[in-house]
Each structure stands twice: as C-alpha cells, then as structure tokens.
C-alpha cells in the first residue's frame, strides 16, 4: 500500500484499484458496446435519428477524457451521491469514455464480414438471427476482441477523468471492494511525480515502467489475437 514514507510506499493498493476499475469497465462496455454495434449494423433502420446517433458516437470518441471526468463528477457524485474516490465511480466514468471507440471498432469488425456469407446463409434457410449468431458474430469476433482489448488498455492508462472524481486522494489501505476508496496506478504515478522528495520521483519512474510494460503486454495480446484468428476475404 501507499505510505507518506518513500521507503514504505508501494503500488499494491494502486494496482488493486486499477484491477477493479478495469473489471467494472469491462463488465459494462463489453455487452453494451458489442450489443450496440450489432444493433446499429444489423437491425437499425436507416433514418435521421440513427444517423444523428452515429454522428454523436463518432464525436464522443474524440472528446477529451477529462470531459468524461467532469460528467462523472456531475452525474455519479453530485447527482446520484455515489461515494467519491471509489473504483465503482471510476469504472462508470471509464465506461462512458470507452464505449464510443469500442462501438466504432466493433462496427468495423462486423462490417468486414462479406455480405456473400450473409446471403449464402439466408439462401440455405437460416433466419436473420441465426445468420448473426452463427456466422457474423463468430467471424467478426477477432476484430471485436482486438478493439475491446485496445479500448480497455486505453482506459487503464487514463489519469485525468480519475482526478476529477477524487481518486487523487491519499489512500493508505488496499481497497477490498469497489465501494471503498482507492487509487489507480496512473494516478499513483501522478501523485509521486509531484512529490518534492527524490525517493518518490524515483518510485514514480519505476511505476511508469511497470505501467508501460503492462500496456505493451495487453496491446501485444490484442495484436496476437488479430493475427492468429482474423480471416482475410
């Protein structure tokens, strides 16, 4: 756990906080994001409302992450009165930030499945739902998984939205559940880097290397999945 003494400070609490943040984010964005992508690509009617929705999703993917932090502060803390500095609120904020790019990546993966496969399955008597569940989803899954992992990797490295919801506070204990106050690894790096003691700055350098290695490992897994399972048409 963290400590005000550099010799006793560690990243166990921050690592656990980041783990809970990513788990909450994944539990929300994976079903919602993939479901939204399937609906928009396979079921949504072509009208002005859907066009407006697609434009807004594309625009939200480019919004700075700190804006989502301010939105989370306003909705989840000030309006819904959820506890500040908790992985639950952090996960909800990161979910809002991660959903738009995940939906866009999932739609691209679904769109990459050739129309001839859909037509062939329909010609053999499959229902539209069977075509989607038995052909479109399995064939697009490598691309969906890659986009999901990269989106979650981006969320893991975010600091600004977590600062807005109070996760920058000094937390000495390791959180045991999502409703307890916690910090995250990027935020811990930010705290140590702003400490005037040289020992804390050195610890922040070590934590940065750990975070970079973790992100590189996650992105490497995404690349491997894409190269291993993706089909070329």
Q: What is the mean pLDDT of residues 195-212?
A: 88
Q: What is the mean pLDDT of residues 25-34?
A: 95
pLDDT above 90 for 202: no
- The pLDDT of residue 22: 93
Domain of residue 123: give its range: 12-229
Instruction: Report if residue 44 sits inside a domain.
Output: yes
- The pLDDT of residue 232: 64
User: Using CA atoms, how far apart are residues 141 and 135, in angstroms rounded to an integer?
Assistant: 10
pTM strictly above 0.95 = no
- The pLDDT of residue 2: 60
Number of separate domains in the chain = 1
Instruction: Report if residue 62 sits inside a domain.
Output: yes
Q: What is the mean pLDDT of residues 15-27?
A: 93
Angle at 161 between CA 196 and CA 33, to 5 degrees: 145
Q: What is the mean pLDDT of residues 17-28?
A: 94
Instruction: Report if residue 95 sits inside a domain.
Output: yes
Q: What is the CATH classification number for the domain harbouring 52?
A: 1.10.3720.10
List pLDDT tens digits, range 80-110.
999 888 999 999 999 999 999 999 999 999 9
The 3-class secondary structure across the chain, one letter per residue, is CCCCCCCCCCCHHHHHHHHHHHHHHHHHHHHHHHHHHHHHHHHCCCCHHHHHHHHHHHHHCCCCHHHHHHHHHHHHHHHCCCCCCCHHHHHHHHHHHHHHHHHHHHHHHHHCCCHHHHHHHHHCCCCHHHHHHHHHHHHHHHHHHHHHHHHHHHHHCCCHHHHHCCCCCCCCCCCCCCCCCCCCHHHHHHHHHCCCCHHHHHHHHHHHHHHHHHHHHHHHHHHHHHHHHCCCC
- The pLDDT of residue 95: 95
Report whether 167 contacts 184 (CB < 8 A): yes
- The pLDDT of residue 5: 72
- The pLDDT of residue 67: 92
pLDDT band at residue 176, thresholds of 50, 70 and 90? Answer: confident
Q: If you average pLDDT over every residue of the chain, what do you get?
A: 88
Instruction: Report if residue 6 sits inside a domain.
Output: no
Nearest alpha carbon to residue 76 among 66, 64, 88, 67 = 88
Max CA distance (Å), the chain: 71
- The pLDDT of residue 224: 87
pLDDT above 80 for 8: no
Instruction: Report if residue 3 sits inside a domain.
Output: no
Instruction: Report if residue 1 sits inside a domain.
Output: no
Instruction: Report if residue 7 sits inside a domain.
Output: no
């Amino acid at each position: 756990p963290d400590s005000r003494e550099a010799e006793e400070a560690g990243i166990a609490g921050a690592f656990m906080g980041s783990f809970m943040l990513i788990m909450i984010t994944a539990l929300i964005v994976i079903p919602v994001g993939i479901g939204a992508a399937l609906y928009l690509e396979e079921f949504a009617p072509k009208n002005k409302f859907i066009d407006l929705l697609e434009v807004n999703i594309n625009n939200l993917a480019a919004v700075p992450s700190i804006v989502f932090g301010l939105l989370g502060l306003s909705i989840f803390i000030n309006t819904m009165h959820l506890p500040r500095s908790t992985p639950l609120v952090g996960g909800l904020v990161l979910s809002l930030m991660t959903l738009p790019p995940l939906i866009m990546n999932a739609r691209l993966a679904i769109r990459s499945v050739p129309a001839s496969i859909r037509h062939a399955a329909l010609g053999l008597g499959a229902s539209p739902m069977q075509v989607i569940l038995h052909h479109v989803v399995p064939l697009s899954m490598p691309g969906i998984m890659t986009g999901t992992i990269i989106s979650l990797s981006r969320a893991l490295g975010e600091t600004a939205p977590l600062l807005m919801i109070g996760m920058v506070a000094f937390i000495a204990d390791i959180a045991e559940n999502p409703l307890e106050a916690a910090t995250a690894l990027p935020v811990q790096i930010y705290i140590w880097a702003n400490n005037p003691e040289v020992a804390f700055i050195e610890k922040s350098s070590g934590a940065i290397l750990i975070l970079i290695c973790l992100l590189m490992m996650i992105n490497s897994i995404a690349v491997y999945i894409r190269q291993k399972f993706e089909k070329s048409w």
